[in-house]
Structure 1
Amino acid sequence: MSTQDQRPQHDGHYVFSDKMQSEVERVQERALAGTPLPNSLPRPEGELQRLMAVWKTPPGWRFFKSVNNVNIGFLYICTALLFFVLAGILGLLIRAQLAVPDNDFLSAGTYNQIFTMHGTVMMFLFAIPIIEAIAVYLLPGMLGARDLPFPRLSAYAYWAYTIGGLAFFCTLFFGLAPDGGWFMYPPLTSKEYSPGINADFWLLGIGFIEISAIAGAIEIIIGILFTRAPGMKLSRMPIYAWTMLVVALMIVVAFPAIIAATMLLELERAFDWPFFIASRGGDPLIWQHLFWFFGHPEVYIIFLPAAGMISTMIPTIARTRLVGYRSIVVALIGVGILSFGLWAHHMFTTGLGAMELSFVSAASMAVVIPTAIQVFAWIATLWSGRVRMSTPMLFLLGFMFIFVLGGLTGVMVAVLPFDWQAHDTYFIVAHLHYVLIGGMVFPMFGGLYYWMPLLNGNTMSERLGKWVFGLMFVGFNVTFFPMHMAGLWGMPRRVFTYSAEMGWDVWNLISTVGAFMMALGILLFFIDAIRVFRARPRQNDNPWGASTLEWLSSADYSSRSIPQINSREPLWDNPELTREVEEGRHWLPGAATGGRETLVTSPVKALPTHVQILPGDSWLPLIAAAGTAAFFLLLTMELVVPAFIGGIAAIVSIIRWLWEVDKKPQMEKVEVGDNLWLPVGATGPAAHAWWATIIMLIVDAVIFSALVYVFLHISMLLQVCPPPNAALPKTIWPWTSAALLIAGSFCIEWARRRSRSLYGDTHVDFQPWLQLALVIALGLLCLAYAADFFGHVQAGLTPTAQAWSAGVAVLVAYQGFHVVVLLLAGGYLLARSLAGHVTPTSHSTLDNVSLMWHYTTLQGVAAIFFINVLPRFMDL
């Protein structure tokens, strides 16, 4: 190699030679032209065996250290189905209690706990996890990738969900389960009316589980945008991938609201900060606004993945291409956007203004349009094809019938006069189950029958499957349709018994019979699923004749080589693709770096950019998840010392995990085809970790926005702001804090830019510059927070005095949390710099910490504006 070839050139994202630059451009031109890799030469001997060895699943009990998507996805699905069964058993207990009037099968207190746990487990421990579980299992194969880009993050999210969820469910056996309903409305759940720790388990447990869901959403977004097979442009992406992209983005925007809400209610219960206590300036409606800003988009977060599965299965079942692909994509995006305008759909009886009610009512009806586009596209596809009446098809037809009925009742409750009459009756219970079970559970069961052969090559019984469908479909309608009638007869929700004179006994008895019928169908399904799981593995031969890439192979590494994609139905349009891929004729046909790896492509056109090394199996995600769960759960039980031990164990495990992953690649470039080379790893905006940090900061910003909303809402309730018994700090303190924050950001940015300017100079070591700037920036950060905090202390801030002061305190405390996080992140970056790991080709830590630093500065300045500037402006 010549001297010119060895000279590093920096393009903002990579560092590689001029020769490598030309090779990358040539590869991208070939991909853009849709030309498959010409791997006509025989592959090296032992290449496939080395690939299999790198991706081999650990045997025995070490299986639980596995992090690849096949194993984690399988565990995820099994655990979510376990919670589905547990929640179903609780539902049967509810129906047994309501089967006859004046029943004493369950006491009022026990019924409230079971009712609360049934809704909570179904919504938080089954509905959301199962959609992420199926996505983790299917998406890498469907996208043509070896794995998702953060496999250890997937493992951490799974173990956090499992450990936290099981511990939360076990509170039922100790009388510690929450009893305020799955919606946990204050003031019922305030300390005055729920003095025990039952509600605290819900608040900390659910907040923790939602963090796990957000981690999974970040993984899905980055995986879909950056690890698609070359040539799989957005216009060629499977509809299921589109739905999961929209859903993951919705999770990023919606779920932070419930995290903010649970944090505020726990602060009120633990420290008497009165956010929801009206007599002290708070407002219980704040909870409803935050909860339903999460809760109503969640309905579509649950429905859209099911719709994506339907759009994937129907073309295969009908043996024809999907009608209206682009229209369905637009409809998916439309549903995602409109769903955020519907949260007050649940608040029509709370006294909102006529304008707000009219807007939400109109939005509730408008969301029907993009949903109907998808339904009509499915019907058109079935009409134009040759339908095989298989078990998956039966479940899809059952879905259409049930979901359309649920949609019709949804339009009814969107009409204000009707909702005022039907609100909080069993009519709403029936509508909810028709939409959620019909809209998600039936498509999910159809998907389990459809994709079961990916597990070990065996299909489920068609004969038994028809019995399963029949019992579930008839049982569902017998269970929930009578609830419409009971609701119209005036039966309210959440009652544990009723009098015989009310005339509701017949409807309730019919519903109970239907519930046990549906349970029998689900039991038959699990019996058949266990039979398939225990059967001898067979070769995955794509029994349905599907067109999508997950059917290429069931191996842990997805497929021997990553295919070049030239159409939306690659297995139909290229019947030889499976053979070509397994012979290694496409991209990256082995373990080029000697470890686990996948190909990273551009987000829109899916042009190959670099090879990403993936971390291997490890116990660290499990240890970190166990420590995190211990911190939240033990803190709920007021076991402070053990809780902090668990928290420290989690932090140490995560730091060790990041230290292992964030290292300089051993190879600068690798061959991904016949004499075609790509760089290994990337930095800056080309790196998937950089974009993951951006998404994480968006989540952070939504939480902060929710806290600002609470502060502004409380302020607008006041006649004088600040209230007479509160005071603002002297202006010198907030302005000093803002100036120090901005100076710290300039310092860290100067170090980052200075480091980049020295990349090409081998005679200058940029590490001392970075270390000095980092120490100065950390000092400025601490001084900035100290100035802000001292100003409020000097002004006499008392969060327990009234809600306005609590709103100020929570914004200050949230900024303090970020200061602690930056101290940890800055210390980690300093340690890596001292160890010599921040290099011209490996500086992702510096880039990501810089993003976090600048965000913390912006957030701090924004908080100063809302707390110190805006009240003074309003006073003028």
Structure 2
Amino acid sequence: MSDNRSPSGYSASDASGSRPVDGPHAPESVRRALAQTWSDPPGFIGALKALNHKTIARRFIITTFVFFVLAGILSLVMRTQLARPDARLIGPNLYNELFTMHGTTMMFLFAVPVMQAVAAYLVPLMIGARSIAFPRMNAYAYWVFLFGGILLFGSLALNSAPAAGWFSYVPLAGPDYSPGKGSDIWAQMITFTELSGLLEAIVLITTIFKMRAPGMSLNRMPLFVWATLVTQFMVIFAMPSIMLCSTALILDRLVGTHFYNPAKGGDVLLWQHLFWFFGHPEVYLIFIPPLGFISSIIPTFARRPVFGYPAMVLALIGTAFLAFGLWVHHMFATNLPELGKSFFTAASLMIAIPSGLQIFCWIGTLWTGRLNLRTPLLFVLAFFFILVIGGMTGVMVASVPLDLQVHDTYFVVAHLHYVLIGGAVFPLFGAFFYWFPKFAGRMLSERLGRWQFWLFFIGFNVTFFPMHLLGLHGMPRRVWTYPSGMGWDGMNFAATIGAWTIAVSVLLFIVNVVLTLRRGEQAPADPWGAGTLEWSVPSPPPPHNFDAVPVVHGRDPLWEAGAQPRFVGGLAADAREVLVTSVLDAKPDHRPLFPSPSIWPFISAVATTVLFIWSIFTPWAVVYASLPVAVAMILWFWPKRASNAFAAAREQRP
């Protein structure tokens, strides 16, 4: 590590360890060498080999947004069907398929993956790393996710879509009531996406713990990095539950086991326990990363560091712990002991405490700051308004007597969307506007952004607020039509108008992105005057992220007054060499070599896809299709002579 005290405190060595190069940035020759080393190969085959975390993250973000749009189109069809009583736009079977596809796509193909995708792009930049940990695993996770999504929408195109709801309750999803392969496809799609999510969690946790820039101790990490870390630990503990219950479901359907058959000693409530043990933490898998978005956006536009940093971190951790104690509040309508329900009622009320603590810290930051009211901050302020409504209705349905009355009505649909769209999608759009300059090097149009915001805000409330009233007036959810004369006509029509307004807003966002990419304003490295490390590099960042790995002095490195820049020297320019640091204090530890681009993660994902799809039709696929998976992964990890030679030469370097 360089100890130079001057602003030109950069010390880097070339591949042979010869003379150091002074200056805050590497000279052009070293910068070109770094860019060439860390770039993805050109061409179509090169795209399949790509490992750069920014490339994979961009693919993840675009793919998840495509799924978001597809799910939105499905919801528009359903909402148009419900605009008037006794409508016949679509039939009940297709409605059930669209309802299942919409919820499954939003929950499994958009909400959690997009949060991991944004983190995969930003976290290495925020912590001063040149790459993400396990880059080949990161690429493999993307391909598995993509093929799982294609499987689900392929089933809709082939008239074999699942129709038992995104929660796939048994016995409805069992072999007796759901013939065909729809529920089997749903179960295997779950395995696809949850495998991808678990791999991304491992990648992100390792990156955060072991690849932070020197000086970035745990108590100096950006709050978005903390939110990502907490979320990924939740993924590791929650997702095996849904993988277990979906595997048991497909075994019941394909092999003839009886996990969920009471006549043979099974239990249908076992499904609900396993599903919601994942399903309620999933709400916070979706919700906690946007808290990190907000904790990045508010300090920047309030022009001051976030108020109550330790309390914010503890609130994130507390939310994660409490999230695993709430799953039974989805089961208050089942025949569970009343005393047990009371404990989950208490837990459902308690989880509002850490969320309220964070809101007070954000208000304290805004109250004492100098506000710059730009589009990202507008989405954050809307989050406050909408989340309060969603939180209040959440406290209401935490009461067992009220929940029994509204559980199967549109009141719960309204609550769910106020929490998930208000708590996740509004901050996500704010994050897109905030970090788009870093993603693409151009500034999104502020004027189009404000139009999109107001259309989205108005459309959202016009869509979902009437659903509270529909639920209180007795309209059940999961119905494809309803008779006239029930008093539901006007509110359903208003909700449909609001849904189309949301669609116009999303379309305006797409237009904004396309126009910006074509002729938008070029973005400087730090267009907002932010304080975290990702804004210290050009927009978009070079393939290697940092010409020199920085040394961190505080929580907002770019705002630290009087701190002289210091940088790490000695990393090779012609090999993928990274700095690994200690977990607690981020002290330099060692310099491993990262793998080069490879086609084998893609081929392994194809082999895994063949295994999963084949196993929908016969259990013997697990035996026969495991062989190509094993061969692909052996070749994936097979060492290369060039890497071994460089490693040997490096060991002899002074």
User: Which TM-score bucket, shorter chain as reference?
Assistant: over 0.9
User: Which residue in the other structure is 1:555 paired with?
Assistant: 542
Is residue 589 of structure 2 the alignment partner of residue 603 of structure 1?
Answer: no
SS in 2 for 1:556: coil
**Preserved CA contact (<8 Å) 2:571 2:577:** no
- 2: distance between equivalents of 1:380 and 1:365? 24
2:494 maps to 1:510: yes
**Whole-angstrom CA distance in 2 between matches of 1:304 and 1:669:** 45
Q: Using the alignment, how far apart are the partners of 2:451 and 2:434 within structure 1?
A: 16
Cα displacement (A) at 1:233:
0.2
Task: State the alpha-carbon separation in 2 of the partners of residues 439 and 555 from structure 1.
Answer: 32
Cα distance in 2, alignment partners of residues 667 and 45 from structure 1: 25
Paired letter, 1:373: L
- Quote the residue 1:55 is aligned against: 38
Paired with 1:569 and 1:125, the residues of 2 have a C-alpha distance of 33
Q: Distance in 2 between matches of 1:124 and 1:575?
A: 46
Change over 3 Å in CA distance of 1:52–1:120 after alignment to 2: same
Alignment-derived partner of residue 634 in structure 2: 655
Q: Distance in 2 between matches of 1:84 and 1:147?
A: 28
Matching residue of 1:543 = 527
Counterparts of 2:336 and 2:428, CA distance in 1:
37
Structure 2 equivalent of residue 760 of structure 1 = none
Q: Residue 549 of structure 2 aligns to which amino acid in structure 1?
A: I
Alignment equivalent of 2:197, drawn from 200, 213, 219: 213
Map residues 455-466 of structure 1 onto 2, 5 A cutoff. Answer: 455-466=439-450
Contact 1:311 1:378 survives alignment (8 Å) = yes
Correspondence for 1:97: 81
Structure 1 residues 38 and 208, CA gap change in structure 2 (3 angstroms):
closer
Which of the numbers 431, 435, 438 marks the counterpart of 1:454?
438
- Name the CA distance, whole Å, in 1 between partners of 2:126 and 2:432: 16
* Secondary structure of 1:483's aligned partner: helix
Q: Is the 8 A contact 2:576 2:595 kept in 1?
A: yes
- Cα distance in 2 between the residues matched to 1:651 and 1:541: 44
- Whichever of the two has the greater Rg, that structure is 1
Provide the rounded CA distance (Å) in 2 between the counterparts of 1:655 and 1:574: 51
Structure 1 stretch displaced more, 526-535 or 453-462: 526-535
Q: Are 1:121 and 2:105 an aligned pair?
A: yes
Cα distance between partner residues in 2 of 1:575 and 1:620? 48
Corresponding residue number in structure 2 for 1:227: 211
Which residue of the other structure, out of 556, 571, 587, is the alignment partner of 2:568? Answer: 587
**C-alpha distance in 1 between matches for 2:229 and 2:84:** 46
| TM-score (norm. length: structure 1) | 0.70
SS in 2 for 1:112: helix
Q: CA–CA distance in 2 between the matches of 1:45 and 1:447?
A: 33
Higher relative contact order (CA 8 A, sep 6+): 2
> What amino acid sits opposite 2:38 in the alignment?
W
1:322 is aligned, of 303, 306, 331, to 306
Q: Distance in 1 between matches of 2:259 and 2:168?
A: 15
Q: Give the superposition deviation at 1:456.
A: 3.0
Q: Which runs of 5+ in 1 are unaligned?
A: 1-26, 678-876
Partner amino acid, structure 2, of 1:516? W
Cα distance change on mapping 1:193 and 1:456 into 2, 3 Å: closer
Q: Whole-Å Cα distance in 1 between the matches of residues 153 and 285 of structure 2?
A: 23
Q: What corresponds to 1:534 in structure 2?
A: 518
Shift in CA distance, 280/45, structure 1 to aligned 2, threshold 3 Å: closer
Residue 604 of structure 2 is matched in structure 1 by 624
SS in 1 for 2:227: helix
Contact 1:626/1:646, CA 8 A, preserved across alignment: no
Distance 1:130 1:448, change over 3 A: same
Deviation of 1:664 after TM superposition, in Å, equals: 5.4
Which residue pairs with 2:16 in the alignment? none
Which of 465, 470, 482 lines up with 1:486 in the alignment?
A: 470
Q: How many angstroms does 1:589 deviate by?
A: 6.4
Structure 1 position 167 matched with structure 2 position 151 = yes
Matched with 1:301 is: 285
Cα distance in 2 for residues equivalent to 1:425 and 1:591:
61
Q: 500, 510, 519: which one pairs with 2:503?
A: 519
Q: What amino acid maps onto 1:632 in structure 2?
A: F
Residues 588 and 599, structure 1, Cα contact 8 Å, conserved in 2: no
SS at match of 1:113: helix
Q: For the residues of structure 2 that align with 1:648 and 1:342, how far apart are their CA atoms?
A: 41
Gaps of 5+ in 2: 13-19
Match of 1:46 among 29, 33, 37: 29
C-alpha distance in structure 2 between counterparts of 1:404 and 1:81, whole Å: 26
Q: Return closer, same or farther for 1:272/1:460 CA change in 2, 3 Å cut-off.
A: same
CA distance in 2, matches of 1:44, 1:179: 60
| CA contact 2:11–2:568 (8 Å) conserved in 1 | no
Contact 2:406 2:471 in 1 (8 A): yes
CA offsets per residue over residues 809-840 of structure 1, 9 Å max, x none? Answer: xxxxxxxxxxxxxxxxxxxxxxxxxxxxxxxx
- 1:292/1:343 contact within 8 Å kept: yes
For residue 114 of structure 2, what is the aligned residue in structure 1?
130
Q: State the identity %.
A: 46
Q: Does 1:444 align with 2:428?
A: yes
**Residue of 483, 498, 516 corresponding to 2:482:** 498
The Cα of 1:206 is off from its aligned counterpart by 1.0
- 1:55 alignment partner AA: W
1:177 is aligned to 2:123: no
Q: Mark the CA change 1:539 to 1:53 in structure 2 (over 3 Å): closer, same or farther.
A: farther
Does structure 1 residue 281 correspond to structure 2 residue 268?
no
Q: Which of 547, 551, 556 is matched with 1:564 structurally?
A: 551
How far apart, CA to CA, are the structure 1 residues paired with 2:356 and 2:369? 20
Measured after TM superposition, the shift of residue 588 of structure 1 is 3.8
Deviation at 1:424, TM superposition (A): 1.1
Distance (whole Å) between structure 2 residues aligned to residue 431 and residue 461 of structure 1: 32
- Are the structure 2 counterparts of residues 274 and 468 from structure 1 closer, same or farther at C-alpha, using a change threshold of 3 Å? same
Contact 1:205 1:633 survives alignment (8 Å):
no
| Whole-angstrom CA distance in 2 between matches of 1:470 and 1:38 | 49
1:650 shift after superposition = 2.8
Task: Identify which of 445, 453, 467 aligns with 1:469.
Answer: 453
**C-alpha displacement of 1:575:** 8.3
Whether the 8 Å CA contact 2:443–2:520 is kept in 1: the answer is no
What's the offset of the Cα at 1:445? 0.3
CA offset at residue 166 of structure 1? 1.4
Aligned residues: 635
Distance in 1, matches of 2:509 and 2:563, equals: 35
* 8 Å CA contact 1:50, 1:591 repeated in 2: no
Of 247, 256, 260 in structure 1, the residue corresponding to residue 240 of structure 2 is 256
Deviations 1:200-252 (A, max 9, x none): 00011111210111000000110000000000000000000101100000000
Counterpart secondary structure, 1:550: helix
How far, CA to CA, are the matches of 1:426 and 1:308 in structure 2?
30
Matched residue type, 1:53: Q
| Bigger mean CA deviation after superposition, 313-322 or 164-173 | 164-173
Letter in 1 for 2:588: P
RMSD of aligned Cα (Å): 2.3
Cα displacement string for residues 144-181 of structure 1 (whole angstroms, at most 9, x for unaligned residues): 00011100111000011012211211211111110000
User: Residue 609 of structure 1 aligns to a residue in which SS?
Assistant: strand
Instruction: In structure 1, give the amino acid aligned to 2:637.
Output: L
Q: Measure, in 1, the Cα distance between the counterparts of 2:11 and 2:39.
A: 28
Shift of 1:94: 0.8
For 1:79, give the aligned amino acid. T
TM-fit CA distance, 1:466: 0.5
Counterpart of 1:858? none
What code does the residue aligned with 1:179 have?
A
| Separation (CA, whole Å) in 1 of partners of 2:264 and 2:569 | 64
**Shift, 1:504, TM fit:** 1.0
Output the CA distance in 2 between the equivalents of 1:395 and 1:587.
38
Q: Which residue number corresponds to residue 613 of structure 2?
A: 633
